[in-house]
Structure 1
Amino acid sequence: MAGAATIHPNWAQHIPTRITDGYSIEITAKDCEALRTAASSLAPETPIAITFLPGETIDARIDAAKLVRDLGFEPMSHLSARRIASYEELEQTIRLSVEEAGVQRMFLVAGDPPVPAGPFEDTLSLLRTGLFDAHGVKAIGIAGHPEGHPVMDEDACWAALTMKCAEVSNRGMAPLIVTQFGFDAARVLDWLIALRERGIDAPVRIGVPGPAGIKTLLRFATHCGVGASAAVLAKYGISLSRLLGAAGPDRLVGDIAAGLRPGHGPVRLHFYPFGGLARTAEWIGQHRANQN
Structure 2
Amino acid sequence: MTTPTRTDLLTDFSLEMTGKDVDDLQAAVPVLPSGTRVNVTFLGNEDLAMRTTAARAVRMAGLSPVPHISARRLHDRGELDTYLAALRDVDATSAVFCVGGDPATPAGPYPDSEAVIRTGVLAEYGVRHVSIAGYPEGHPDISGDVLWNALRAKAAALAEQGLEGSIITQFTFDEEPVLRWIEQVRDAGIHLPIRVGIPGPAGVKRLLGFARRFGIGANAMIVKKYGFSLANLIGTAGPDRLIAALFDGYDPARHGEVRLHFYTFGGLHATAQWIHDFRDR
What TM-score, normalized by structure 2, do the two folds share?
Answer: 0.96
Moved over 4 A (4+): none
Deviation string 1:93-136 (CA, Å, 9 cap, x unpaired) is 11221232232111111111111112211111111211102222
Name the CA distance, whole Å, in 1 between partners of 2:276 and 2:100: 33
Q: 5+ residue gaps in structure 1?
A: 1-8
Name the CA distance, whole Å, in 1 between partners of 2:23 and 2:142: 37
Deviation string 1:238-263 (CA, Å, 9 cap, x unpaired) is 21111111111000000001111121
Q: Does 1:287 align with 2:275?
A: no
Q: Does 1:223 align with 2:213?
A: yes
Matches within 5 A, 1:67-216: 67-216=57-206
Amino acid at match of 1:240: L
1:5 is aligned to none
Amino acid at match of 2:228: I
Deviation string 1:252-275 (CA, Å, 9 cap, x unpaired) is 000001111121010000001114
SS in 2 for 1:19: helix
1:35 is aligned to 25
Preserved CA contact (<8 Å) 1:20 1:284: no
Name the CA distance, whole Å, in 1 between partners of 2:69 and 2:261: 18
Deviation string 1:32-75 (CA, Å, 9 cap, x unpaired) is 00000110111110000001111311121111111100100010
Amino acid at match of 1:55: N
1:283 is displaced (CA, Å) by 1.2
Name the CA distance, whole Å, in 1 between partners of 2:83 and 2:202: 32
Name the CA distance, whole Å, in 2 between partners of 1:62 and 1:205: 24
Amino acid at match of 1:267: V
Q: 5+ residue gaps in structure 2?
A: none
Name the CA distance, whole Å, in 1 between partners of 2:248 and 2:6: 12
SS in 1 for 2:46: coil
1:188 is displaced (CA, Å) by 0.9
What TM-score, normalized by structure 1, do the two folds share?
Answer: 0.93
Name the CA distance, whole Å, in 2 between partners of 1:202 and 1:150: 24
Bigger relative contact order, structure 1 or 2 (CA pairs below 8 A, ≥6 apart): 1
SS in 2 for 1:90: helix
1:20 is aligned to 10
